[in-house]
């Protein structure tokens, strides 16, 4: 398979977060909603093709000159098995974005991308801070498994509902297996 992508003049979202943090400039609500819609549309397209990205993170979101967001780096993406109720088992992804099912090794589907998207959204709303952190990998994974994260600041409360929906969607998907 050959994948051709357009050039992203503004670099990746991680670089943009660092630039804005240094300048003390937050994403506007309109910019956040644009990112949410564009990345979720990209994930929807992938998932309809039975593909799991498996590494949704700010380094893999690219920004074009006209401020559009593109999901990229499909190096660890995989096709979901055609049989229903077959879960993927391989361990891929970036630790700070890993879903609980990958950490537990219980198998996963496209829902793992939604979890990582929720982490990405939190990162954007908190100017680059991650929801799950700790001094080592074990404490980070424990933080993920408990699902505890600092609430959003008052100015970002409208997005708290979106984050809660991402987490709830993950729990609903996993509960069905």
* 66 in catalytic set: no
Count of beta carbons in the 10 Å neighbourhood of residue 84: 5
Residues 52, 55, 60, 61, Cα dihedral to 10°: 60
Backbone angles phi, psi at 142, to 5 degrees: -65, -40
Q: What's the chain's Rg over C-alpha atoms?
A: 16
pLDDT the model gives residue 11: 93
Instruction: Give the rounded distance of the alpha carbon of 40 from its chain centre.
Output: 10
Residues 46, 108, 76, 91, Cα dihedral to 10°: 170
Catalytic: which of 55, 66, 73, 113? 55
Fold of 13-175: Transferase(Phosphotransferase); domain 1 (1.10.510)
User: What pLDDT tens digit does each residue of the chain (177 aa) get?
Assistant: 666 777 888 999 999 999 999 999 989 888 988 998 899 888 888 888 888 887 899 999 999 999 999 988 765 666 665 555 444 444 455 678 877 777 777 766 777 888 889 899 989 988 888 888 888 888 888 888 887 777 777 666 667 676 666 656 655 554 443
pLDDT the model gives residue 86: 44
pLDDT the model gives residue 151: 75
Helix (H) or strand (E) holding 51: strand 51-52
Strand-pair category, 61-63 with 78-79 = unpaired
Structure tokens given for 48? 């309809």
* Annotated domain spans of the chain: 13-175
Residue pair 70/5 in contact (Cβ under 8 Å)? The answer is yes
Backbone angles phi, psi at 58, to 5 degrees: -65, -30
pLDDT the model gives residue 30: 85
pLDDT the model gives residue 81: 59
pTM: 0.78
Residue pair 80/52 in contact (Cβ under 8 Å)? The answer is yes
């Amino acid at each position: 398979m050959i994948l051709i992508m357009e050039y992203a003049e503004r670099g990746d979202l991680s670089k943009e977060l660092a630039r804005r943090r240094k300048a003390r400039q937050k994403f506007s609500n309109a910019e956040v909603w644009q990112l949410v819609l564009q990345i979720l549309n990209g994930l929807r397209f992938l998932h309809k093709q039975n593909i799991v990205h498996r590494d949704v993170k700010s380094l893999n979101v690219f920004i074009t000159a006209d401020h559009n967001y593109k999901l990229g780096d499909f190096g660890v993406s995989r096709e979901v098995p055609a049989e229903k109720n077959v879960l993927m088992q391989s361990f891929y992804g970036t630790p700070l974005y890993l879903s609980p099912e990958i950490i537990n090794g219980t198998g996963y589907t496209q829902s793992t991308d939604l979890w990582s998207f929720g982490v990405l959204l939190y990162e954007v709303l908190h100017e680059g801070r991650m929801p799950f952190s700790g001094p080592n990998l074990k404490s980070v994974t424990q933080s993920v498994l408990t699902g505890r994260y600092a609430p959003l600041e008052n100015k970002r409360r409208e997005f708290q509902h979106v984050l809660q929906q991402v987490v709830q969607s993950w729990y609903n998907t996993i509960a069905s297996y």
